Amino acid sequence: MTRLPRQILLLLLLSLISSSTAEIRTLTITSDSRPMILFEKFGFTHNGYVSVAVSSVSVSSSATAPNPDASRLGFFLLSEEALLQVLLEIQQNPHFCVLDSRYIQHLFTFADLSPPPLSRFNQTYPVSSPNEYSLFFSNCAPETRVSMNVRAETYNLERDGSRDYLSAGLTQLPSLYTVFSILYLVFLGCWIYICYTNKLSVHRLHLLMSGLLLFKALNLICAAEDKHYVKVTGTPHGWDILFYIFQFIRVVLLFTVIILIGTGWSFLKPFLQEREKKVLMIVIPLQVLANIASVVIGETGPFIKDWVTWNQLFLLVDIICCCAIIFPIVWSIRSLRETSKTDGKAARNLAKLTLFRQFYIVVIGYLYFTRIAVFALRTIAAYKYQWVSNAAEEAASLAFYLFMFYMFRPVEKNEYFVLDEDDEEAAEIALRDEEFEL
């Protein structure tokens, strides 16, 4: 791939990247020939700052370009509004260097470095115009490789002079996650009470559902602490590790509970068929892979060479898992339809069919909203309101949990499974007239 298309591709991907959250980055770049490297994307207020320190800088070039121009390698900021203008400049001139653009905010080039053997630079720059900016390094010297240690800090100053290392659109996240963690803890308390008062109707599935609520609450507590420490200090102080651990357990439990409910385990039959076991054996390892990709994406950033590959892997695995958990629900609906024709319990089967079709529709809606609608909201929302997409995702998740737990709660006389015999004739007519096609 030529240098020009690679620059255009990177700038286009920029518009799809959400704001960064860990705003102190320390990394080492070794023999890198990329024409552009994206370090951070950050929403600044009217009192924002970016600090860049580079050290141990070395530049190597091929025999055809023995003396690269140091002014052709440097750092700059690029706002969202200026992105299209820079793209046009690159398209109009194949040899255009982004560092020559009048739409970027120059920081420094390698010409400003201290002379060897020190080869270092450290400077803090104010960002007086509120906007969302991306911090780039550009290498416009052909056939040149760069090695360096980089420390980048982006933050906004509060009125009391303290630093806020969270982007302007994400600074509300600690409070947001705290509120939702409290809601889930209350939810867990209510669920335990319901299970306790209906001991005879509690199945093993209800215990798994209790664990799901517990780990969801723990996940949100760690997310709140993670974002709080990032906001105050610029680093998560280890809370990100706990966050990823609880997130992994929570996601595996969520997919497992949906699959088990979809197969009717504990409600329709006390066993799993081979094909249903295979779904679990496929989904759980895939979730391990998806969480590894999530950790790499979250803990590194777009400056690593394989960042796009990890994003594509995460997206692919997530789509496969979302599709896989739909099949058990479809199998249960088809099985119930076949059973309804032979066992003579039309009212009971109609109620079960209604329940599982409602569950199917809600699962599809939940997956669609959290994967597509939330992504669209995150993309189109102004940088100051990036937190709205997080709030929408958590609100949708809470609504889904409430529906799922209410419909499959442990009660002695479940309205879906204990019906009056007087309903048999009406149910038989409904089953004949409505085939419950998905």
Evaluate if residue 346 carries a pLDDT over 60: no
Residue 48 near residue 154 (C-beta atoms within 8 A) = yes
Per-residue pLDDT at 283: 79
Q: What are phi and psi of 393, to 5 degrees?
A: -65, -45
Structure-token pair, residue 260: 């088990």
Highest mean pLDDT among 79-93, 296-310, 404-418 belongs to: 79-93
CA–CA gap between residue 207 and residue 150 (Å, rounded) = 48
Q: Which whole number is the average pLDDT over 390-404?
A: 95
CA–CA gap between residue 27 and residue 174 (Å, rounded) = 26
At 1, the pLDDT band (50, 70, 90 cuts) reads very low
Highest mean pLDDT among 114-123, 185-194, 230-239, 285-294 belongs to: 185-194
Evaluate if residue 13 carries a pLDDT over 50: yes
Per-residue pLDDT at 381: 87
Q: C-alpha angle with apex 417: 265 to 323, nearest 5 degrees? A: 40
Q: What is the pTM of this model?
A: 0.83
Residue 144 near residue 157 (C-beta atoms within 8 A) = no
Per-residue pLDDT at 204: 86
| Helix, strand, coil percent content, the chain, rounded in steps of 5 | 55, 20, 25
At 419, the pLDDT band (50, 70, 90 cuts) reads very low
Per-residue pLDDT at 417: 47
Q: Which residues pair with 157 in a beta bridge?
A: 163
CA distances for 323 relative to 35, 319, 364, 370, 392, angstroms = 38, 6, 9, 14, 22
Per-residue pLDDT at 67: 76
**Where do the domains of the chain lie, and which CATH numbers do they carry?**
3-164 (2.60.120), 173-433 (1.20.1070)
Q: Is the peptide bond before 117 cis (omega within 30 degrees of 0)?
A: yes
Per-residue pLDDT at 212: 96
- Of all residues in the chain, the percent with pLDDT exceeding 70 is 78
User: Which residue, among 397, 133, 98, has the nearest Cα to 250 in the 3D structure?
Assistant: 397
CA–CA gap between residue 422 and residue 246 (Å, rounded) = 48
* 149-162 residue pLDDT tens: 999 999 999 988 89
Structure-token pair, residue 385: 């309101």
Q: Which residues pair with 138 in a beta bridge?
A: 36, 74
Per-residue pLDDT at 343: 53
At 66, the pLDDT band (50, 70, 90 cuts) reads low
Evaluate if residue 90 carries a pLDDT over 90: no
CA distances for 71 relative to 95, 106, 115, angstroms = 16, 12, 14
Evaluate if residue 342 carries a pLDDT over 70: no
Instruction: Please classify residue 289 by burial: count the beta carbons closer than 10 Å to its beta carbon, then call 0-12 exposed, 13-18 middle and 19+ buried.
Output: middle
Sign, Cα dihedral of 162, 164, 169, 170? negative
Sign, Cα dihedral of 402, 406, 409, 411? positive
Per-residue pLDDT at 370: 87
* 356-388 residue pLDDT tens: 788 888 988 998 898 888 888 988 888 899 999
Residue type, 96: F
Q: Which residues pair with 123 in a beta bridge?
A: 52
Per-residue pLDDT at 350: 67
User: Which residue, among 57, 60, 54, has the nearest Cα to 142 in the 3D structure?
Assistant: 60
Instruction: Please classify residue 133 by burial: count the beta carbons closer than 10 Å to its beta carbon, then call 0-12 exposed, 13-18 middle and 19+ buried.
Output: buried
